[in-house]
Amino acid sequence: MRNTNEMIMPESEIVKAQQDFLSKVYAWMVGGLLITSLTAWYVFSSGFWMQIVSNTILFYGLIIGELAIVFVISAKVQSMTTFLAGSLFILYSALNGLTLSVILAVYTAESVQQVFLISAAMFAGLSVFGFVTKKDLSGLGRFMFMGLIGLLITMFINIFIGSSMLEFLFSVVGVIVFAGLTAYDTQKLKEMYMVQFEGGEIAAKASIIGALTLYLDFINLFLFLLRLFGDRR
């Protein structure tokens, strides 16, 4: 149901606010992906990835650091300055590039590039769908979140079982889950357009948390597709 302000606002103004807000979200997201990609390529080219793999404390320290940053941004973004929130997002993107540099040692550069382009095309299509559809995707979002919980449980179980079939099903379901979350999260962000009228600081921080959400959707979609279609060295 639309609120009072939305009902008295011209449709053209609503659409413009939605587009303006999402353009900020995508700008942050693309910037984050660019930082991650360049960092991963540099770390792989320099050979530093071998130190990350061989040093268990460093590897898990990076992962814990990334999870901590995501938690802090998600939980505390409203009490942060825009500069701090943006800096943490940039730091997270760079740290993720460090850990993802390892995939360049596992998969051929050509297949990584191809899967990245496939992921980008899928993400763009799903995001456009989430923006233009009139259907409420909240039910889909809840279902995909349940699927995400199932993925985590399956991943934990397969650590002990080591089943190749379970690994394949895990990857397929992972693609479906993050495809659905991409459409749902885009629609959810679209409905946050009112922050455009609540001041630059509020809109800026909302765009950063929105970018983090879509960034995570894209990275996970890419990684699951890479599991399915990537050519190993």
- Pairwise CA distance, residues 42 & 116, whole Å: 17
Mean pLDDT of 216-231: 95
Note the pLDDT of residue 198.
Answer: 67
Mean pLDDT of 224-228: 95
The Cα-based distances of 78 to 85, 129, 167 in angstroms read 9, 29, 39
Note the pLDDT of residue 82.
Answer: 93
Structure confidence at residue 93 as a pLDDT band (50, 70, 90): very high
Asked if residue 130 has pLDDT above 80, the reply is yes
Instruction: Render pLDDT for 71-84 as a digit per residue (tens, 0 to 9).
Output: 999 999 889 999 99
Mean pLDDT of 227-233: 90
Mean pLDDT of 162-183: 90
Percent of the chain with pLDDT strictly greater than 90 = 66
Structure confidence at residue 159 as a pLDDT band (50, 70, 90): confident
Q: What are phi and psi for residue 108, nearest 5 degrees?
A: -65, 150
DSSP secondary structure of 6-65: HHHS-HHHHHHHHHHHHHHHHHHHHHHHHHHHHHHHHHHHHTTHHHHHH-HHHHHHHHHH
Structure confidence at residue 8 as a pLDDT band (50, 70, 90): low
Helix (H, G, I), strand (E, B) or coil at 232: strand
Residue found under tokens 């599991």: 227
Instruction: Render pLDDT for 181-200 as a digit per residue (tens, 0 to 9).
Output: 999 999 999 888 777 766 67
Instruction: Render pLDDT for 23-36 as a digit per residue (tens, 0 to 9).
Output: 999 999 999 999 99
Mean pLDDT of 131-142: 91
Residues 6+ apart with CB under 8 A from 213: 185, 189
Asked if residue 4 has pLDDT above 70, the reply is no
pTM here? 0.90
Note the pLDDT of residue 183.
Answer: 96
CA-wise closest residue to 44 among 103, 101, 110, 96: 101
Note the pLDDT of residue 152.
Answer: 84
The residue ranges of every structural domain in the chain are: 11-229
